[in-house]
């Protein structure tokens, strides 16, 4: 489904004000929202927000040039799949070849032939749509290799129904890295991505083949623990918590990474509960773990203690965990 209000974003990186003026005017009727920046640092600042669908990149810029920008884009898993069309003022083919070898998908030579530029832009947007679609269909999170949110949305109700049918125990853990935004802000996004990938490896090492480990987005993860009593889910969660806490990162050796975990588990033949409500109970426990000081696991048993945050000292009326970091 295409939403009318949100056009795909085009990030234009060029040091020339004339290029911004020209393309701003000439791309006005294209189905893109143009974001203009004049340097590499500005570009990476802009890339901290929602990822653009396509990047137009000038090769010849003072300071960090387009080649270096390309290298850095391709080094960051979260950005490496954005199609980059290079703007080249150079007549020779060497730079185009170098740029394409660095991962650019296309180039346009200055001065621009506008119909050609528009056509190449549309082609890049098509590629972006296909890559996005492929990632969604694959139900895999591109950064960590864990299952993605689409997979979770399908798996969780199915696993609940299965456990209901066979009277099996089932647990769910919601995991959120503590103060993750600080890592991105202090050490940069590559450092943040590294932490997310390392955390995913810790999770993958601890879970069993019958579990489902997903990255919901950002620094929030979830693990569905099949045929698992809440106490056993807690033991596994503790191993994940100590696992990430014991890692050292080369980019920030003095900064320890910790995680807060909320669990809601149901023993064999426990009461029936809707998947959404069950997830919410785990999410409330995550919030209780955050407000309780972070770097901890809060676990409750479905059908006991009135649900959510029991034993965590946070009491009733806790809000959604989304607000806590
Ligand atoms: Mg230039």
Give the pLDDT confidence of 209-232 residue by residue, as tens digits.
Answer: 999 999 999 999 999 999 999 999
CA of 142 from ligand 1 middle (Å) equals 32
Helix (H, G, I), strand (E, B) or coil at 74: helix
Cα end-to-end distance, the chain, whole Å: 32
- Give 49's pLDDT tier (boundaries 50, 70, 90): confident
Give the pLDDT confidence of 124-168 residue by residue, as tens digits.
Answer: 999 999 988 887 788 989 889 999 999 999 999 999 999 999 999
CA of 6 from ligand 1 middle (Å) equals 29
Catalytic residue (choose from 206, 219, 220, 229): 219
| Mean pLDDT value across the chain | 90
CA of 124 from ligand 1 middle (Å) equals 21
Residue spans of beta strands (DSSP E) within the chain: 9-13, 33-37, 54-58, 84-88, 106-109, 170-177, 212-217, 220-226, 259-266, 297-301
- Give 281's pLDDT tier (boundaries 50, 70, 90): very high
Whole-number pLDDT of residue 325 = 67
* Whole-number Å distance between alpha carbons of 229 and 5: 46
Sheet holding 84-88, edge to edge: 33-37, 9-13, 54-58, 84-88, 106-109
Is the pLDDT confidence value at 320 over 50? no
Whole-number pLDDT of residue 89 = 78
Q: What is the mean pLDDT of residues 54-80?
A: 92
- Give 313's pLDDT tier (boundaries 50, 70, 90): very low
Q: Do residues 60 and 90 lie in contact, with contact meaning Cβ atoms separated by under 8 Å?
A: yes
Closest CA to 80 of 103, 110, 64, 107: 103
Q: What is the mean pLDDT of residues 36-60?
A: 94
Whether 219 is a known active-site residue: answer yes
CA of 15 from ligand 1 middle (Å) equals 5
Give the pLDDT confidence of 105-136 residue by residue, as tens digits.
Answer: 999 998 899 999 999 999 999 999 998 888 77
Q: Token pair of 145, please?
A: 């290799």
CA of 89 from ligand 1 middle (Å) equals 8
Bridge partners, 86 (sequence order):
57, 107
CA of 116 from ligand 1 middle (Å) equals 20
Give the pLDDT confidence of 238-256 residue by residue, as tens digits.
Answer: 999 999 999 999 999 999 9
Q: Do residues 25 and 18 lie in contact, with contact meaning Cβ atoms separated by under 8 Å?
A: no
* Whole-number Å distance between alpha carbons of 170 and 158: 12
CA of 7 from ligand 1 middle (Å) equals 27
């Amino acid at each position: 489904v295409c939403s009318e209000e949100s056009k795909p974003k085009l990030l234009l990186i060029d040091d020339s004000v004339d290029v911004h003026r020209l393309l701003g005017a000439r791309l006005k009727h294209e189905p893109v929202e143009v974001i203009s920046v004049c340097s590499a640092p500005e570009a990476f600042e802009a890339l901290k927000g929602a990822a653009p669908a396509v990047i137009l990149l000038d090769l010849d810029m003072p300071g960090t040039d387009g080649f270096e920008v390309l290298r850095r884009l391709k080094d960051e898993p979260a950005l490496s799949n954005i199609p980059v069309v290079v703007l080249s003022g150079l007549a020779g083919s060497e730079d185009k070849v170098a740029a394409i070898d660095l991962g650019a998908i296309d180039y346009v030579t200055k001065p621009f032939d506008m119909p050609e530029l528009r056509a190449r832009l549309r082609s890049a947007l098509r590629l972006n749509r296909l890559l996005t679609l492929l990632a969604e269909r694959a139900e895999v999170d591109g950064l960590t290799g864990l299952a993605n949110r689409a997979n979770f949305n399908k798996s969780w109700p199915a696993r609940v129904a299965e456990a209901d049918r066979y009277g099996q125990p089932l647990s769910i853990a919601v995991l959120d890295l503590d103060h993750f935004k600080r890592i991105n802000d202090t050490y940069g996004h590559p450092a943040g991505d590294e932490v997310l990938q390392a955390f995913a490896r810790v999770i993958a090492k601890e879970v069993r083949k019958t579990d489902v480990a997903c990255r919901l987005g950002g620094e929030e993860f979830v693990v569905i623990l099949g045929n698992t009593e809440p106490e056993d889910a807690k033991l596994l969660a503790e191993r994940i918590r100590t696992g990430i806490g014991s890692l050292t990162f080369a980019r920030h050796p003095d900064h320890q990474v910790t995680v807060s975990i909320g669990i809601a588990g149901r023993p064999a033949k426990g009461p029936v509960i809707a998947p959404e409500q069950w997830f919410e109970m785990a999410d409330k426990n995550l919030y209780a773990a955050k407000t309780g000081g972070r770097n901890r696991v809060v676990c409750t048993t479905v059908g006991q203690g009135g649900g959510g945050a029991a034993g965590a000292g946070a009491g009733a009326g806790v809000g959604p965990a989304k607000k806590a970091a």
